[in-house]
Structure 1
Amino acid sequence: MENLDTTSLNILTKGEYCKLKKQLDYNNLKLRGYEAHYNHKVGSDKELNFFKKEIEKLNGLNKIILSQMEKIKSDYSTPEMKNKKIRIEKSISAKMLKEKELQESILLSSKITVEILRKTLFKHSSDDFESYISNLKEDSVKIDLKASKLFSIHNYFKEMKYEDIERLALNILSKGRYFKAMKEYGVLDKKRIELQIEKDSYSKLSQKLFNLGTFSKINKDLKNINDSILKLEKEFKEIQTSIGDEKLHEEISRINRLRDTIASKYSKQSNTLKEKSQLNEFFIKETNRLKRELENENISNRFSKTSLKTSYIDLRGKILGNYLVDFEIEKKKRKNIDFEF
């Protein structure tokens, strides 16, 4: 409700206004981070140079975006457009109030349904309850496991260091050759260390003479490995030179934006799983409370065991339906209207 002006402009421009605003907000968020690192000299010389270029680029982009947003406001400030804008804002207000009422009715319906269940169902075998709770707990374990994996992916992208991103950019721009060379370098370097240790073990002259053949072979192998390592180091430099600083900078920027998108995506998915887990906990809690209350009730068996099970399944479906399905349908109905800024 606080963003009616922005929302109405977004509708009138068919989503263009909010697209610009979101880009501006994203740019400002990145700017604050880059400026904090650059001003306090946090990072290597390469990182600081990257931050400086990004700050200049983002400030330039922001000027263009602000100019476009001001033009939109000016275009829709005529009396005719003002009236159209007011009508849209009134429509949005009505829809928002309707959604608020819907959510309140969903919550009330859930509470009433649980209360009816608690007061009307008869005492029966606890096996049904235990089985139901066991299934819910199994679901919770699966949900928690999936959430944990999503959290790990989110953290991996979020905590990537500048050097990791730079290497990834070099690999993408060299079409995979950079990582392949790095792998070869790692194997050779490990072998070089092993041979150097073996060579050092023949430090005494008597040992060298006694193992002259082996010593000579180690020196030959070391020379070959060092030559291969030098070739790879030369290849690393050639890859960076052929790509160029400007192209590398643009690719690092692109990966940074992609990383932010991925981190945001997995964060939202984790929040959804958290909500489902909380809903499961709600059902476990309500089932245990119902079981305790029914054990203390002395109500005649007016219903069959099958009837009880059906009633309970219907209840769960109703609450889940209200909580998840209906609300998702309502959200889809307003899919093209962005209320979050």
Structure 2
Amino acid sequence: MDSERLVSVLKSGGLSRYQAQAYVALLELGTASAGDLADASGVPQPRIYDVLRDLEADGYVETYEGETLQARIHDPAALVSDLSTRIAQFQSATDEIEHRWTEPEPTGQEAAIVAQFETVLTRTIEFIEDANNYVQLSVTPGQIEQLEPTLRAAHEDGIYVQLAIHSFGEDELPDEEYLAGICTEARVRERPAAFLALIDQQQVGYALHVDSPSEYGMLIDDRGLAYVFSWFFSTMLWELWDTHYDGRSSDPPIRYFEIRRAIPEIEALLEEGATVHVRITGQWVDSRRPCQLVGTVTEVSYEGEHLDEGPTTLRDLVGRASLVVETDGGTFSVGGIGTHLEDVETDQIVVEEIEP
């Protein structure tokens, strides 16, 4: 490092330019009179005495009287220590800047706008690691690779994982054997889409323009806001597209996390005369206290019933949709996320037994 560069670094470390110039010159001279030091360092003669006095006050040099005022660096440890402290402070500030840029916490608020997709991806991994039941993802094959260790661990822990895969080439689409280890179901969407992660119908990671100049993302931890994204996932990213992999069990126990996914299949069983035994977990609508119902489904109800002939579609279920469950403690109506009309808002429906 040349002298000018060292002077610049010492200025960054808190010295004035004249102080830095005098100190660097004194390092080379060892001992010098004030006049010789002024000539060697380029510090104006009228200023050199003030500069030496300030350096001595900080413990960086020492002066003594000879025929003229003399100066020397007795031990550079004082300046080295101060520089080390500043380096640590700069490193701490650097770490904090990177943390706030890439990992803002949506703590104390329902939603946060972030500037980078990497932030959304990092938080999505954390959301999935904390998932209790259900993960829905709109992803590219490349994003699947980034999430694979987290998805594999979640799948092994029994988390229900849906993948809506988009923006793929023929040689990139994951095969069924690979998908069997990381998800429960997968569909392919033959056109680009946003990145979307929905976890337990509560947490959301969303990024529309990934790797573009207008890249930004959203992080949400709110059940009401997540409900909007749930409909977006169902209507735009899932229902219309072909099944690529289906690892669901056709025999009980059969799990559902959306009542509108459960109703058509349970309705078909009821029409065949079957008795459907279910276990439902959720919250009482009036008190928001957790609850669990164990009983049989006696009725399904939805506002679009019989709009069209043929199987029930999502169009039939866009309004009110509910189950009626008879238990030992009474008969209760069960609705989906955000309901205010039924007795119970469901988080999970498990068909435990089907009696023909």
Superposition TM-score, scaled by structure 1 size: 0.21
* Structure whose residues are more often helix by fraction: 1
1 or 2 for the larger relative contact order (CA 8 Å, sep ≥6)? 1
Q: TM-score, normalization: structure 2?
A: 0.20
Larger proportion of strand: 2
